[in-house]
Structure 1
Amino acid sequence: MSLLLHAFFIILAIFFFVRWIEPPPEAVQFVPGGGGGGGNEGSQVAHRIQQRVHQQVTSPQFNKRISSTSTTASFSLPDTTAELPELSSPMEAGAASAGSGTGAGGGHGAGIGTGTGSGTGPGSGPGYGRGFIATNPFGGAGGDGLVGTFYDFKRDSKGKPTEVKAYNRPVFTEIVRGFTKSSRWAPPRKFKHFTSQTRLVAKTFAFKGIPDVEAGKAFQCPEAGAGSWIAHYSDDVKVTEAGTYRMVGWGDNCLVVGIDGKVVLDASDVGYTGEGRASLGAINVPGKPAASLFHGEWFTLRAQDSVRLDIIVGDEGGIFSATAMLEKKGATYARGPGGIPQLPVLTVADLAPTEVALYPFIRPEHLQRTVFQAGKQSLGLGKDWRID
């Protein structure tokens, strides 16, 4: 009986010992698909990106060649030779066009965390990462160009909410018209607004379809969010070639161009200013299919004159897209299918190759400086800025 009792206690002790030293099961951790970036912050970034993808407005597939659907239009967008992927949303379009950039990975991979990786995942390449000065279609820190200021009408100067909301067309129409009433375009005093401390210098004005929240991020004002914002670019420019011209373009929702305080083109999809314009049909733009085209009235410029050039872009909310082009009366343009002439994008300074690369949907020769020459600007961006 004593031997049996001792044997029982020995077996019981062995059983509990084995259970005690058995290693606990490993916890399965999520690793971001872009490589680089360890820890919780990298996972949170990946989760935010997944949320953004689900929140994007899915656009139909667009054509690889940008062309007018109107058989009577007197111009076309610059013909694209670059092969554009078949994409179904603006988020995908941005990722597909990303090149090799400084990245924002955590660790040493090619990812999207918070360290010093190098890669081409979301947030790398042509985006608004740490090197966004050279890769921002809304402008850079200085150089030749027009000075842009960002206004958010949903908040006042202290950042508190105003009565203005996104997707309010009557109010947004009143805001745009208020900008253009005076010879020196400025925000209408009737509406309180928040002005971003960051200003940007832009050489050209061409935006494919992107979520309109990117505008606030580009001006280091991500709190602006969607809708009811305006970016106003303005400066005196020198006329380098005399002639009679007219502006051509599209805006979703807003693109208005002025010379010496006078509106020469309202290409906004709803015609906010009420100024005269003519429709030229519709075109397909990456991220913005069936964009409505308009042209303004002819105007005459004299060589060496100095004129005030104003451009405002903005959005009610959702997808933003806009491009301004310049047509010279009597000039000969290359013609595409159906005899449609191909026009240059409004460009006020020479673009570097890295800047030209921001516009893969436009032929490089159509991004050369037009008849306007802007002066050199020097602006401070303040703190370093990065968005995930």
Structure 2
Amino acid sequence: MGGEGLTISLIIHLILIIIAAIWVISTVTDSIKKDPDSFSTGQGGGAAGDRAKQFKTRVQPKNPKTLAKNAARITSKSPNAAISLPDLPASSVATLTSGMMSGGSSKGFGGGSGGGIGSGLGVGRGNGKNFVSLFGAKMGTNGLVGTFYDLKQTPAHKETECAPQSGIGPYREAVKEFFQSGWSPIKFVKYYKAPEPLIAGQLFIPSRSANAAPEAYGVEKEVKPSRWVVHYKGVVEVPQSIPFRFVGTGDDWLLVRWDKKIALDDGYERFVVGGDGNYKDFKQTVTKEFVLDRTPGGLHRMKAGPWINETKGKKVPIEIAIGETPGGVFDVYLAIEVATSSQRVKGEFVGEGTLKLFRVNTEPLPKEIENPGRKLTIDMQAEGWIFKTVPAAGAAR
């Protein structure tokens, strides 16, 4: 009996061990099954990385419809217009969504060095590595550095004389004083300045709400879309030893300063050059215009500036200022026309009759302006005519 009892005891213990093993295996198998809606993080990109941790947090993608806002109707600045503008196109919503969902360094829902759910810094183009608007990028590119000023308020957010509706006059006087001072930023010290500049490779911004500028600079909550100024500056290298001239216009205004000389002044308002096109710095009077479909605005043309004859490789300081006075619609278009040769005909250079986009880097253009239309004959790539930016120390004195 002693031997039989021992055998029965061993069999019972063996059965219990088998049952326990089956239970453990079943429990472990269930625990490692992945929830299809969960996501994981790990170190690096390789099979040898540490085991990823499982998180049950579910990603909630934004519904593009919830991002759309009803745009307020804005009034055309054409003196003959009696219609209100249509609502802003819904295509911008798709751009917004793609900008927030793109990959990159902690931007959107993509991968990259930051990985995971990033900060989603708004609309733009590119691979998600950087916020890029038509006004410029926040970092990581060569170009003209643009500073945004709101003349309606002080740095402490107190109203200035430009704030009320009657402030249009004081705004124009403040802008005029800026130009008369030699474009000195000191003149704008008493006004609110956006915390971060933008770096622009070109200035070609089709008609849109004047709120686009505050939004691009991330200050739309602090700044109402009127009586603002953006001042771009840098040093560029002349790409060819062939005469060229700036061609452009701005709503409300656009000025270009080349080597401390006014090379273009056009828009609904002018501050330095009168309607006669007398560019005193270059001792030239210019009346040449190019057709531009400025719908929904008026003033369907771009003005040419004086001919500029420089040597290839010369480093030249350039500044560009744009601004919006009453609010509503804003746009800016800046291009160049190249002469057919360095030889004058009857004392004048002869232009090609077509335009090239004024560019200062070779970064891909925002898709919105790749095919501009608007009755323009313009080369948007401007191959061979890119005025690359260089360090300021290399500027001609």
TM-score w.r.t. the length of structure 1 is 0.62
Aligned length: 285
Contact conserved, 1:229 with 1:314, CA < 8 A, in 2? yes
Question: Which structure 2 residues correspond to residues 276-295 of structure 1 after superposition, within 5 A?
Answer: 276=278, 277-278=286-287, 280=289, 282-285=291-294, 287-295=296-304
2:229 is equivalent to residue 226 of structure 1:
no
Distance 1:90 1:180, change over 3 A: farther
Please identify, of 242-251 and 129-138, the stretch whose mean Cα deviation from structure 2 is larger.
129-138
| CA–CA separation in structure 1 for the residues paired with 2:218 and 2:121 | 17
- Alpha-carbon shift at residue 374 of structure 1 (Å): 0.8
User: Hey, what does 2:272 align to over in structure 1?
Assistant: 273
Q: Kindly tell me: are residues 210 and 284 of structure 1, through their superposed partners in 2, closer, same or farther at Cα, counting changes over 3 Å? A: same
Question: What pairs with 1:1-388 in structure 2 (closer than 5 Å)?
Answer: 37=62, 49-50=69-70, 53=71, 55-57=72-74, 89=86, 91-92=88-89, 94-95=91-92, 98=95, 101-103=98-100, 127=124, 131=128, 133-140=130-137, 141-165=139-163, 168-183=167-182, 185-187=183-185, 189=187, 192-222=190-220, 223-275=222-274, 276=278, 277-278=286-287, 280=289, 282-285=291-294, 287-316=296-325, 317-330=327-340, 341-352=353-364, 355-362=365-372, 365-368=379-382, 370-375=385-390
The amino acid that maps onto 2:69 is: I
1:232-277 alpha-carbon deviations (Å, 9 max, x no partner) = 1101111121122211111100111011221100022221223535
Q: Could you say which residue in structure 1 is the equivalent of 2:81?
A: none
1:134-163: CA deviation from partner (whole Å, max 9, x where unpaired): 441110123111111101100101121111
- Say which SS state the counterpart of residue 156 (structure 2) adopts: coil
Q: Shift of the alpha carbon at 1:308?
A: 0.5
Q: Given the two structures, how large is their TM-score scaled by the length of structure 2?
A: 0.61
Describe the shift of the 1:125–1:150 C-alpha distance in structure 2 as closer, same or farther (beyond 3 A). closer
Asked if structure 2 preserves the Cα contact closer than 8 Å seen for 1:97 and 1:126, the reply is no
Contact 2:243 2:341 in 1 (8 A): no
Amino acid at match of 1:208: P
In 1: Cα distance, 2:126 partner to 2:217 partner: 12
Q: Is the 8 A contact 2:232 2:319 kept in 1?
A: yes
Say which structure, 1 or 2, has more relative contact order (CA 8 Å, 6+ apart): 1
Q: What per-residue deviation string (whole Å, max 9, x for no partner) do you get for residues 15-47 of structure 1?
A: xxxxxxxxxxxxxxxxxxxx9658xxx99x66x
| Structure with larger Rg | 2
Q: CA deviation at 1:281?
A: 6.3
For residue 356 of structure 1, report the CA deviation from its aligned partner.
4.0
Q: Distance in 1 between matches of 2:88 and 2:299?
A: 18
The Cα RMSD (Å) is 3.9
Q: Confirm or deny: 8 A CA contact 2:241 2:311 kept in the other structure.
A: yes
Inter-CA distance 59–228: structure 2 relative to 1 (3 Å threshold)? closer
Structure 1 vs Structure 2: percent identity of aligned residues? 23
For residues 93 and 341 of structure 2, the distance between their equivalents in structure 1, rounded to whole angstroms, comes to 36
Structure 2: which 5+ runs fail to align? 1-59, 78-84, 102-107, 111-119, 279-285, 343-350, 393-397
Shift of 1:186: 2.7
